[in-house]
Structures are given as C-alpha cells and as structure tokens.
Structure 1
Amino acid sequence: MGINHWPEGERPREKLLNLGAQALSDAELLAIFLRVGVQGRSAVDLARDLLSAFGGLRQLLEADQVRFCEAHGLGNAKYAQLQATLELSRRHLASQLARGNALMSPALVKHYLSSQMRHLGHEEFAVLFLDTQHRIIRYETLFRGTLDSASVYPREVAKRALELGAAAVILAHNHPSGVAEPSDADRRITERLKEALALFEVRVLDHFVVDDGEVVSFAERGWV
C-alpha cells in the first residue's frame, strides 16, 4: 500500500509538519528525501532497505558516487540532490558561526569542523580565521597529507592570517585512523604555530582534532 493511503498521522511528510523533523525516524526522513519508492515498495520501505544495505544513515550520506548510484532506487540525480543538501547544511552551520563569537559556541564549532572533516580518507589541516570579535572571516584547508601525516608550515599559516587581517585563529585537523587523541607531534606543531603567529599578534584560540565520531579540543585540556 502506498504512503498516500496511510493514515495521515503516519505519513512522514505530514508527521514532520505536525510534530517537527526531530520526531521522525531515520527511515522516515530519508523517505521524504526519496519522495517515491519503487515497484512493490513504498518510499519508507525503500529507505529501510537502503539503511540496512549501507549499514546506517551516516554511511549512506557519506557514500561515494559510484556506490550510492548503484543502489536500487537511487542514481545520479539523487546523488546530486543529496550533495546539494549536505552542502546547504554545512553552509548553514558556517553562517551561524559567522554571526557570532566562535568562542561562545564551542559545540557549534565542533559540529561544523566535524561536518567538514570527519569523512575524509586523508589528513587535512584547516584554519578558522577570526576577526577581533572572534567572528569567522574564513575557513580554509591549508595543507593536505597522506593517510597518517600532513606537513604544516607555520610561515604559510601566518602569511594567510595577515592576508585576511585575522586577529585570531582556530586550528583543526583530522585523524583518518579513527582515533582523535592528539599525538605528541600535534602538540609540538601547535606550539610552533602559537610562537610564529604571536610575532604578528595573532592568537591561537584552540586546536581541534577530528576523527570519525569525536572532536578533541586542546583548549578544553588546557594545552593552548
């Protein structure tokens, strides 16, 4: 039986409008995104099948184009639609940060950095450049590395901070290994960056390490 024949209170779209998106299950939210099912399967049935096949919602959302498009009921159009939706979400987080003091929203900063870096299969080092009121000027990835390392040059970070007129920075990099615990090398490069940027009166406010499911803050541990 198609969703349009379900009781109105059980239809995902009507349920969302009446109760809010948070009231829906992963399958119901995905069904709204899919809009239609396939022969013999409603959109909700198809959503459940896909979640099972991919191993969960996150794995589905972060699947590469080839694997995503090979799944029954999906394709290039859905992949493009999904990527646009995910990018809108990232830009919405960025706009929320840009409107306020980054230090006043540590959870939002963590969420934003996680959305940018947790799915990467290689190591990246990025910087949030901030103005005198700690509002975001720009987020930029400055260095890219292999699976387990990235070369970080303090001179390049300082140069970019001066170009953007930044008064402070928040550093971030990911650990593709899935372990967010900072290494001794992470702590050493943080100290080098603090020293280099201090010469130009640019403060390092924090350094975040992002893995598959966790974000560790140097500031919370008293390391910056």
Structure 2
Amino acid sequence: MERSSSNEYNTRIRELPSSERPRERLRDLGARSLTTAELLAIILRTGSAEQNVVNLATALLARHNGLAGLARLSFAELTHEKGLGEAKAAELQAAFELALRLRDLEPEARPYVRNPQDVYGLIGAEMGMLDQEHLRVVLLNTRNQVIAMPEVYRGNVGTSLVRMSEVMREAVRQNAPSMVLVHNHPSGDPSPSPDDVLLTKIAIEAGKVLDIEVMDHIVIGDHRWASLKQLGLAFPAG
C-alpha cells in the first residue's frame, strides 16, 4: 500500500545529497531549473523497492518517449506500469488534466493553421532532422487553432503497423473537431509513398465515423514538405 508522508519521500531518496533532491532544488532554484524527470518525481512522491523516485520518473519518461507519451496513457495503463499504483496513476492524470485546463484558459495564444506552410513552420524544422519516421497529429479547434501536437507513432509509417485507434485517440480525448497528419521521411525526400496515401485514406474514413475532419497529411523532408491534399492524393477532388 502506498503512503504519502514526507518521511517516506525522504527515505526513498536518502542516498541523494540535499542539493540533488527534487523538492529541495525546486525550493532553492525554482521549478524552471528542474528537469522533467525531477518535476515528475515530485508529483509521484515515492519510488519503489527497486528504485528511488527520480529513477522511477526517468524510466517512465524513457519508456514512453517523454512526457507526451506518458500523458497519453489511460488510467488502467498507468496502474500497470512498474512502480505505479492507483494513487500514483490518479496523481499523474490529475496533473496532466490541470495542464490541459490551464492551456485552455489562454486560447488566443494558440497558433493558427490555415495552410501546410503553417504546419511546417510549427514542427517542420524539428521533424526534418529526425533519423526515424515519426507520425504526429496536429489537433485543431473550430477556429483552426492548435490544441496539441502529440506523437502517435514512431517507426515505419505503414498501414500494417500504424493502429488507427492510436492516431485518433488524442483527437477523441481532447474533442478536436479536425486534425492534420504529419510525418517525416528521413531520406529527405517528402514525396508521398503509396503507403502514405493509403494511410491517409484510412484516416479520412475513420475520421468520418468519429466526426473528426482530417484536413491534410503533410510529409516533411529535408527543408521541404509535401501536402497530400495539394497534390490531389487521398483527398476527394474539390
């Protein structure tokens, strides 16, 4: 059974000098000085018998490709993570939900997406440098402002490997009425492949069922991009 006392927190990280303990570092240096793992450790409070809370937080982030991947896990999935139980899963989901609500308080600060160039301006430079294929979705509100840009898949972006439930999951969770698919070609050539076209067609049909409009699929290359919609691929004419 998990305990929440500060004594347990100190016991779990007693091997660390005070200057390296997350709570003390936050107190002395401010939250912005802490790493993501340290901030996560403060939320988790305690580690496990095998590892202290900082190592637990680091392992969770590594296993799920960062904070965004961890935030996509359901409550049930979180409870099955080693070192987590229902209490820690609830604390994590509460923290993620508060972050979403804070973001929603400042809608005017969100960037707009009106065309493929806007999408490229947001994440093109970052994705163009990746040496492995990554698939992200740019979730939009009714004003075409960005809600979020989560990564939904990493690896060869083929229709036999990408689960459409994962592609649509965050759009459903965040009630996004529309989305743009974005993935990169490590070769540097953004020309859409037959698999890219097929994936887009499947996503469009899945979106119709869920009442989520797939507005475009942007392929990122080396300082270049290609829009399947502009090329007349997968999307209906007109």
**TM-score normalized by the length of structure 2:** 0.49
- Percent of aligned pairs with the same amino acid: 30
Q: Residue type matched to 2:112 in 1?
A: N
CA distance in 1, matches of 2:232, 2:195: 17
CA 1:98/1:135 → structure 2, altered by over 3 Å: closer, same or farther?
Answer: farther
User: Aligned to 2:196, what secondary structure does the other structure show?
Assistant: helix
Q: Residue type matched to 2:113 in 1?
A: A
Equivalences, count? 127
Q: Residue type matched to 2:215 in 1?
A: L
Q: How far is 1:152 from its partner?
A: 1.7
Q: How far is 1:149 from its partner?
A: 5.8
CA 1:121/1:98 → structure 2, altered by over 3 Å: closer, same or farther?
Answer: farther
Q: Residue type matched to 1:180 in 2?
A: P
CA 1:205/1:177 → structure 2, altered by over 3 Å: closer, same or farther?
Answer: same
Matched, 1:101 2:128: no
Determine if contact 1:125/1:152 at 8 Å carries over to the other structure.
Answer: no
Report the equivalent of 2:27.
none
Report the equivalent of 1:25.
none
Q: Residue type matched to 1:158 in 2?
A: M
| Structure 1 consecutive aligned stretches of length 4 or more whose deviation exceeds 6 Å | none
User: Aligned to 1:159, what secondary structure does the other structure show?
Assistant: helix
CA distance in 2, matches of 1:164, 1:220: 27
User: Aligned to 2:187, what secondary structure does the other structure show?
Assistant: coil
Q: Residue type matched to 2:167 in 1?
A: V
Determine if contact 2:116/2:227 at 8 Å carries over to the other structure.
Answer: no
CA distance in 2, matches of 1:155, 1:189: 13
Report the equivalent of 1:5.
none
Match of 2:175 among 153, 161, 165: 165
Determine if contact 1:98/1:136 at 8 Å carries over to the other structure.
Answer: no
**Aligned runs of 1:54-203 on 2, under 5 Å?**
99-103=110-114, 105-145=115-155, 151-203=161-213
CA 1:98/1:189 → structure 2, altered by over 3 Å: closer, same or farther?
Answer: farther
Cα RMSD (Å): 2.3
Q: How far is 1:197 from its partner?
A: 1.3
Unaligned runs of at least 5 residues, structure 1: 1-94
Query: C-alpha deviations, 1:81-139, integer Å up to 9, x for none?
Result: xxxxxxxxxxxxxx9x9645312x53232222312200001010000011112111001
Q: How far is 1:177 from its partner?
A: 1.3
**TM-score normalized by the length of structure 1:** 0.52
